[in-house]
Amino acid sequence: MTGFDLPRRLVAEGLGTAMLVATVVGSGIMATSLTQDVGLALLGNTLATGAILVVLITVLGPISGAHFNPAVSLVLAMSRTLAKRDLAGYIAAQIFGGIVGTVAAHLMFALPLLEMSSKIRTGGAQWFSEGVATFGLVAVILAGIKFEQKAVPWLVGLYITAAYWFTASTSFANPAVALARSLTDTFSGIRPVDLPGFWIAEITGAVAALFLFTWLLQPSASSTLSSEAKL
């Protein structure tokens, strides 16, 4: 964990999640105001989201770890990278920040502060997509931290950019962001009633990635002994 105290880390998590959601929601609103082409609108939404993730993780990662995601915080608490006593604070900051991000986006585009979304996102394919998306995100983070920590901002930004397009759900991969997106009846929204399916899939995918990559990233005893013998 970083050398910053908990209050500063929580502010960084809330601020980062707010800016992430403001980008997701705001770029969706901007895109649909400029074009009626859904594919082009999604492309604009995708590029903005991937870009802001690189920026936010780079500048806020040294403070809080730049989780901006309850599923990521849960996995890091389970792997003892994040102190378990800090987990509830991280999740609360992320949820609050996400809601603030939606409000900020609405204010910028002269919309009501909050609106319940009417966009339907449900069904087995959507849930499976969210499981796959979150599994991949956590896998990228864990392997990135292990092998190329300085590249993690780019790895995450590029992964989410790709996952927007290869998953049927457009890769929410984040329970706090999903909640915040249920409060906007715009391009990036999701009906509140559809949230539980997304949350279950996201947590399941994240925990599955933790278990697999905890094993995958550990060299075998024979490999370790062989390396030591060569030295």
- Chain segment 114-169, per-residue pLDDT in tens: 999 999 999 999 999 999 999 999 999 999 999 999 999 999 999 999 999 999 99
Say yes or no to pLDDT of 230 above 90.
no
| pLDDT recorded at residue 213 | 97
| pLDDT recorded at residue 221 | 63
Determine the angle formed by the axes of helices 195-216 and 70-78, rounding to 10 degrees.
40
Confidence of residue 220 (pLDDT cuts 50, 70, 90): confident
Domains (ranges, CATH) in the chain? 6-216 (1.20.1080.10)
DSSP 13: H
**What pTM does this model have?**
0.94
In the predicted model, what is the mean pLDDT of residues 39-52?
A: 98
Residue 5 or 228, more confident: 5
Rounded-to-integer distance, Cα 208 and Cα 228, Å? 32
| pLDDT recorded at residue 219 | 85
| pLDDT recorded at residue 106 | 98
DSSP 54: H
**Contacts (Cβ under 8 Å, ≥6 apart) of 37:** none
**CB 17, CB 176: distance < 8 Å:** yes
**What's the mean per-residue pLDDT of the chain?**
95
% of the chain at pLDDT higher than 90 = 93
Q: Is 73 exposed, middle or buried (0-12, 13-18, 19+ CB in 10 A)?
A: buried
| pLDDT recorded at residue 200 | 98
Confidence of residue 25 (pLDDT cuts 50, 70, 90): very high
Residue 203 or 223, more confident: 203
- Chain segment 156-197, per-residue pLDDT in tens: 999 999 999 999 999 999 999 999 999 999 999 999 999 999
